[in-house]
Amino acid sequence: MATIIDGRALAKKLNGQTSQRVEKLKQAHGMTPELVVIIVGTDSASQRYVRNKHRTAERLGIRSIVKELPESISQEELLNVVRQYNEDPEVTGILVQDPLPKQINEKLVTRSILPEKDVDGFHPVNVGKLFLNDTTKYPVACTPKGVMTMFDEYQIDLKGKNAVMIGRSAIVGKPMAALMLNAGASVSILHLLTKDITQYTKQADIIVSATGSLHTLTKNDVKPGAVVIDVGQNINEAGHLVGDVDYDDLFDEVSYITPVPGGVGPMTIATLMQQTVDLAEWSLERDQ
């Protein structure tokens, strides 16, 4: 029987720490971390995400600015908005919610955010530092960083372990693979072109799935005692939010597993808040 990795409880704990750090920044340095979330257009899922981020930030004492821009905005206008926040010393973290309308080059926008305010950790220079296992301070994509917090909390040591990352997205798969590699795991990165995923997962101590497809893994695909982290968010036929893996089938076979919902999901926003405060603290260190 697996231990369930409780993302809700851990996110709550992390948020508690974050709010204490915010309080300390205010008292010791007269500084309030300030997160700017830029949203373009009226996509309802995006608006829901942004609202969640905004509410959580406010609850933790972070100053939160939601900058709503019209769907019709031009590339140059959007870059100008980012530039203003880059130059504003009060703003410590900036993110641009995706998706962006067609006339916008998302890559250029991501790269226009100052690396030291890049709270999503998507800027190539931050990605490069992560892949190089740089020991200085820089932001990292929040979902994988949240998974590392889970490993830490449940004392799951990655050193010398065989880890498998299913999925190679810029937001989850690649940074997650880099983090596990930096923590001492041997890491296999699998994806849609991989012919036999089971061949890898059957040898794995740690499996992270971020494919967005249902039932990527059942108990026949894993080694007994494996750790399974499910980053998937899918809607099943019954209309329920479920992960990638077959949770019920795996439950008796694995040692640790994250549920969906209540696993990785809650950690992403909590990590975003944590990293907003990280960036604020690091900015003070730079100013010294």
Annotation marks residue 53 as catalytic: yes
Q: Nearest distance from residue 9's CB to a copy of itself, in Å?
A: 31
Return the number of the residue (26 or 107) whose C-beta is nearest a copy of itself. 107
DSSP assignment string, 7-76: HHHHHHHHHHHHHHHHHHHHHHH----EEEEEEES--HHHHHHHHHHHHHHHHTT-EEEEEEE-TT--HH
97 belongs to the catalytic site: yes
Of the listed 97, 118, 244, 278, which one is catalytic?
Answer: 97
Tokens of 22: 């915010």
Choose between 70 and 99: whose C-beta lies nearer to a copy of itself: 99
The binding site for a copy of itself (CB under 8 A) comprises 107, 123-129, 131-132, 134, 159-160, 162, 168, 170, 174, 177-178, 181, 184-191, 193-195, 199-200, 203
- Whole-number Å distance between alpha carbons of 255 and 237: 28
What are the φ and ψ backbone dihedral angles of 56, each rounded to 5 degrees? -60, -45
**Whole-number Å distance between alpha carbons of 186 and 70:** 45
Instruction: Report the residue number, 89 or 160, with the smaller CB distance to a copy of itself.
Output: 160
Q: Which 3 state secondary structure label does DSSP give 248?
A: helix
Beta strands (DSSP E) in 185-231 are: 186-190, 206-209, 227-230
Q: Which is nearer to a copy of itself, 16 or 184 (CB)?
A: 184
- Among 6, 118, 120, 205, the one annotated catalytic: 120
CB of 144 to a copy of itself, least distance (A): 13
120 is catalytic: yes
**Annotated binding-site positions:** 167-169
List residues forming the annotated binding site for NADP(+): 167-169
Which sequence positions are flagged as catalytic? 53, 97, 120
